Structure 1
Amino acid sequence: MPFLILTRSGFDDAVSNVGAPGAALHINPGVASDDEVAALRAAGAVVHILPSMVDPKKTDQVELALQAAARDGDPVWLERGTAATPPAAPAVAHEPGDNTSAEEHEALHHRLARTAGAVARAALRGLSPGGRQPMTVPYLGFGNAGKLWVKGRVLDESIFREQAGDDSRWSNLMALYQRLESDEVAGARVRAHFQGQSHETVTDRGGYFSFEIVPTQPVPGGWQTVELELPDSRGEDGQPVRTKAEAMVPAPTARFGIISDIDDTVLWTNVTNKLNMALMLARSNAHTRKPFKGVGAFYRALRHGAGGNEDNPVFYVSSSPWHLFGPLVEFLRLQGIPVGPLLLRELGVREVFKLTSHGNHKLEKIELILSYYPDMQFVLIGDSGEQDPEIYTEVVRRHPKQVKVIYIRDVNPDPARIEALDKLIAEVSATGTQLILAPDSVFAASHAAAEGLIHVDRLASVRSDKKEDDSVLPGA
């Protein structure tokens, strides 16, 4: 596995934490002495001294060095320098549909899954700029008139930059790895202030915290602001580090709620293939990804409801990790899809691309949402690719009166899968609820209009939205 080492501190970290036998080290001139290089080679390492000095602060020089180090197709681990360089990023990644063999795809899958492995962490541990203040990353919360749920994470770095539509795949890859390799702060005290009350908690091992706030006065509908602070961390002004969290309370006009999956329902992620999902995330961003055809108009129609101004709340439950919260919210906003609370998955980076079942996570999050709104009915939206139909059927079993209708986007033509779905449709129908297997958003919207969930006039906008997407997306 090649290492690109540009500084003395990077050399010291790599040598002290990486076994020499088999390691390929590409080292800046002057970083290591001749004796040190000879000792590494005697221990079995393959040492290459770069032909010219590479400035770790100049991205173009770093990219060229990475390309040279990656000529054999392996990923190259890059130390984190003082400039906006990517932490531990693979320099080469094959795309789905190329001529790469299955064995090479599988090898790449394992290499991507190792991004948070001990080797990468060791190489990065001592190289981050010192003196950084912890940052609080608040997520979108929700609640009712009597309580609010607020969640966030405390990290010890603020290196996330805004992405743009003309970003290169390399820039997208850097941004992805920066998010996945962000350093959490465990045991940090966090205070929340709302309606004159203060609440305090401590972050867990992953740096996460959450509050269930019971206010002194009923909370009106709309987005509520909760002040967050880190009492033990001071900013440049000498005051505790502060930020704001937003929590949504449904409007009094809301007639029902919407709970939607994201992966392969709103946004194509190919979540059933973790390798292809990783490559998609690495080569695109919120500006360049596109939603499934007609999704934006359909979700806006559900938000407005049959009355046109119902302001029905939308929640998103996904197996994606919290690391991707920012890009997902940005994606929703850029695509004109109603923004609502996202309930994602707490994962270490080591687990992000593992082929694990996420059904329990989604069911738990849906249960949490329903517990806040026991008198509200919900429209559940997902796809047939993974476990959404089974999860939603279980929700119907537990809460038959709270599910209005289930829309499942049909993405799996396998006869065995279709037979399993037919059984679920029959089971759900026996409770008085419908599970609709829809080929696209127009079909689902037509059914929703017939059921009085959206205004019939909205069908034209869903069809138009789908036609516009047809010009930029492959058939779905």
Structure 2
Amino acid sequence: MQNWKKKLLNTAIQLDDIFDKQVYRLRQRLGIMDTIHVFPFRTYGTPHHVYVRGRVLEDKKIASGSTTDHLFTNLLNMYKRFETDEVPGATLQLDLPGGPVKVVSDKEGYFVFNFKPATPLLTQKLYLTLPLQLVDAPGPFTKAVVNAEMMIPPADAEYGIISDIDDTIIRTGATNLVAMSKTVLFSNAVTRLPFAGVTAFYQALQLGRNGKRNNPFFYVSSSPWNLYDLLIDYMDHHDIPQGPLLLRDFGIQSESFMSGNYMSHKFIAIKQILDTYPHLNFVLVGDSGEQDPGIYQEVVKHFPGRIICMYIRDVAAGNKQEIAQQVALELKTAGVEMILTEHTVKAAEHAAANGLIFTAEIAAIVQDEKEDLGQVPGKVEPGIL
């Protein structure tokens, strides 16, 4: 970043910190703080490495969406997500077999547990549930225990899947500002619609060829953490396999706020996943609308032999489509196939031909795609694209 930009960013951060502190103290004195709540994020780790993170916020009481929600209700809930009241200086405790561990939330309300446990964490399930509680905070709170979910991929997982979100599994129109704004501001977890066939294809990838349904999913997106609850509810509603969401900080504290470079966020997040599981190879899924092909190409360069293949949803036209096609040619030379397609079934056929999913799953994916498109009955939501 240029020197003047760094100075401007540092000044903006200082002013933002001063303003936040003054507003927080004023609300404390006036006694108008809402109840403080802990929001743990779904994370990933290993039996020998605990990584749990989340955020402490005043509870805005945002309800899960429904098909009957008015557009104004969705807009109000979106406003609440971005107009957060962070709680700095809150003490959180994670209870483990080797004893409790405590951390304190930072000035944006974020907290991170990142350590090696005294006793290895063993589980027969894909997710390990860890008791987490708020033990002290500068405001009204209830000492309730919440469950932090940490995914630990089993040793017999065949491969992992790292997927983008916007315009990969959710039709957001990220390449069109008006369409994207309409989707982001006026829809909810139920009315946001997936691309046709995504649910069945992702379930087939999770099932793999061993039939144990334990191939781990990771979702890496440039969307802000403010949308975490919405994205989790969306995936649950549409039966898309659960997985850690690796989003980005939307605040002024982030350098990407000034630089606009979100490529580094995605690359770093993917690198950390591959570094954490050196024994596991990965399938990458994204779209051609933004920077996914270029980011994934860099991943291949830094981790030779670790990327099985890529599936890129073709949502772009013109220059971006040409760039994606060029990346596909370069990757083929490097020995990695990048399937650029508008249709989920084509990606599924490639996956079956290359031993990633059962061939029998293709029929279910075709059916799911037809139901999503409204070509055959089976799903309530109309107009899924």
> Aligned residue for 1:174?
76
**CA distance in 1 between partners of 2:120 and 2:42 (Å):** 21
> 1:267 pairs with 170, 194, 217, which one?
170
> Aligned residue for 1:247?
150
Deviations 1:275-316 (CA, angstroms, capped at 9, x unpaired): 542321221111111100100000000000123224101110
Deviations 1:25-55 (CA, angstroms, capped at 9, x unpaired): xxxxxxxxxxxxxxxxxxxxxxxxxxxxxxx
| SS in structure 2 of the partner of residue 444 of structure 1 | helix
> Aligned residue for 1:136?
38
- Displacement of 1:133 after TM fit? 3.3
Q: Check the 8 A contact 2:297/2:327 in 1, yes or no.
A: yes
Higher gyration radius (CA): 1
| SS in structure 2 of the partner of residue 325 of structure 1 | helix
> Aligned residue for 2:134?
230
**CA distance in 2 between partners of 1:382 and 1:239 (Å):** 41
- Displacement of 1:432 after TM fit? 1.9
When normalised by structure 2's length, the TM-score is 0.84
**CA distance in 2 between partners of 1:128 and 1:466 (Å):** 54
| SS in structure 2 of the partner of residue 456 of structure 1 | coil
> In angstroms, what is the RMSD of aligned CA positions?
2.9
**CA distance in 1 between partners of 2:237 and 2:88 (Å):** 33
Q: Check the 8 A contact 1:133/1:233 in 2, yes or no.
A: no
Q: What 5-or-longer segments of structure 2 have no aligned partner?
A: 1-18, 375-380
Matched, 1:292 2:195: yes
Matched, 1:339 2:242: yes
- Indicate the structure whose relative CO is greater, using CA pairs within 8 Å and at least 6 residues apart: 2
Matched, 1:445 2:348: yes
**CA distance in 2 between partners of 1:407 and 1:201 (Å):** 39
Q: How does 1:62-461 map to 2 (within 5 A)?
A: 130=32, 132-215=34-117, 216-221=119-124, 222-233=126-137, 240-348=143-251, 356-414=260-318, 416-461=319-364
**CA distance in 2 between partners of 1:336 and 1:355 (Å):** 36
How many residue pairs get matched?
Answer: 355
**CA distance in 1 between partners of 2:348 and 2:252 (Å):** 37
**CA distance in 2 between partners of 1:219 and 1:291 (Å):** 35
What residue identity is the alignment partner of 1:369?
I
- Displacement of 1:324 after TM fit? 0.9
Deviations 1:411-463 (CA, angstroms, capped at 9, x unpaired): 1121x333322331232223322111122100000000000000000001111
Change in CA separation of 1:475 and 1:250 when aligned onto 2, cut-off 3 Å: closer
**CA distance in 2 between partners of 1:220 and 1:427 (Å):** 41
What residue identity is the alignment partner of 1:181?
E
Change in CA separation of 1:189 and 1:475 when aligned onto 2, cut-off 3 Å: closer
Percentage identity across aligned positions?
Answer: 39
When normalised by structure 1's length, the TM-score is 0.69
Moved more, 252-261 or 355-364: 355-364
| SS in structure 2 of the partner of residue 309 of structure 1 | coil
Change in CA separation of 1:445 and 1:160 when aligned onto 2, cut-off 3 Å: same
- Displacement of 1:269 after TM fit? 1.5
| SS in structure 1 of the partner of residue 347 of structure 2 | helix
> Aligned residue for 2:11?
none
